[in-house]
Chain A
Amino acid sequence: MTDALFTYALRLGDDSLVLGQRLSEWCGHAPTIEVDLSLANVALDLVGQAQLFLGYAGELEGKGRDADRLAFHRDVMAWTNCLMVEQPNGDFARTMARQFLFSTWQKALFDRLAVSKDARLAEIAAKAVKEVAYHADLAADWVIRLGDGTGESRTRMIAGLDWHWRFVDELFQTDSVIETLVAEGIAVDPAALRPVFEARVAAVLAEAGLPAMELPRPIVGGRKGHHSEHLGHMLAVMQHIPRTYPEAVW
């Protein structure tokens, strides 16, 4: 069970860290200074979550790896984040499409994880859920503004959602890790999240005047370390300094 819990905490930490890293790539490049601040804020929240989840995962593993060790000294195949968060930022609309879909899922997840029988997971989720609620609302606002904006912004919003839609199914996948922990009352059953997620997405798309999305053939694999070609490049940037100076302290 400890193995399963380690894997579960690692997945949650990996999701937050990879998306936090992606969002920080926007720093200084956002459409306005205010949006720049918003994105940096969300990125910082996510990195904070990652620190807690990965720190806990390291303790569970008991091999002396702390959050930094897990973040900076694991190669692509050892990462267990979902595929959606590692996708390139693209334009602002694509970034917001990713944020909206991911944060809406994360909010539904953390709402329930906050009453997990594992006290540490419950504690981290309870702290994070306020942040995540803000991210989900912020992104939903932008989906509506862009979807219901100009012809150009609408086209881009649809393209952004199209890009990420094929990775949605992975968020609701289950496997032996999750089944073991759900039976213990520790993990959240993904099947229970789906209706909540779909209802919220449908409501926001309707308000944005966007068509309901068709689910294409889903792409999965992130949880098993089978990633898209984008993650390796991202990690090369993120891990460059710690890998060059593995003993450095900062």
Chain B
Amino acid sequence: MKTDWPLWEVFVRARGGLSHRHAGSVHAPDATIALRHARDTYTRRMEGVSLWVVRSSDIAASDPEQAGPMFEPAETKIYRHPTFYELPDAVKHM
């Protein structure tokens, strides 16, 4: 099964939801069946939801070993963080 049934990552947008969120994964032989499995497993067939499936092998992920060089330098450069400004009350939705 491991060779014939690749892993698919499932992203679900709930009814009224703004974005697709990663919900989990399923094994399936192809995208059509992956969608069906995702629907049965992660949506309980509520209507009005959107599903994305993507082969896990098609996802490139950042390397946890490289977390330091990737993410930490920003912490030392406080001028990169727009946290020194007082926002006027009139400005909404920031």
Residues of A within 8 A of B (CB): 31-35, 37-38, 41, 134, 138, 141, 145
Contact = CB atoms under 8 A, between A and B. Distances in A.
Given A32-B27, A141-B32, A141-B33, A37 B1 contact: no
13 contacts: A32-B1, A32-B5, A32-B27, A33-B27, A34-B28, A34-B41, A35-B37, A37-B41, A38-B37, A41-B40, A41-B45, A141-B36, A145-B29
B33 to A, nearest CB: 6
Interface of B: 1, 5, 26-30, 32-33, 36-37, 40-41, 45
Most chain A beta carbons < 10 A, residue from B33, B37, B40: B40
B39 to A, nearest CB: 9
Contacts of B27: 32-34
Contact of B40 (A31, A37, A141, A145): A37
Given A31-B1, A32-B27, A37-B37, 4 more contacts: A32-B1, A37-B41, A38-B36, A141-B33
A31 B37 CA distance: 13
Contacts, number: 28
Contacts of B45: 41, 134
Contacts of B26: 34
Contacts of A34: 26-28, 37, 40-41
A202 B86 CA distance: 70
Given A34-B26, A145-B29, A138 B1 contact: no
A41 to B, nearest CB: 5
Nearest to A35: B37
Contacts of B40: 34, 37-38, 41
A145 B40 CA distance: 19
Nearest to B28: A34
Contacts of A145: 29-30, 33
Contacts of A134: 45
Contacts of B32: 141
Most chain A beta carbons < 10 A, residue from B26, B30, B33: B33
B2 to A, nearest CB: 11
Nearest to A138: B36
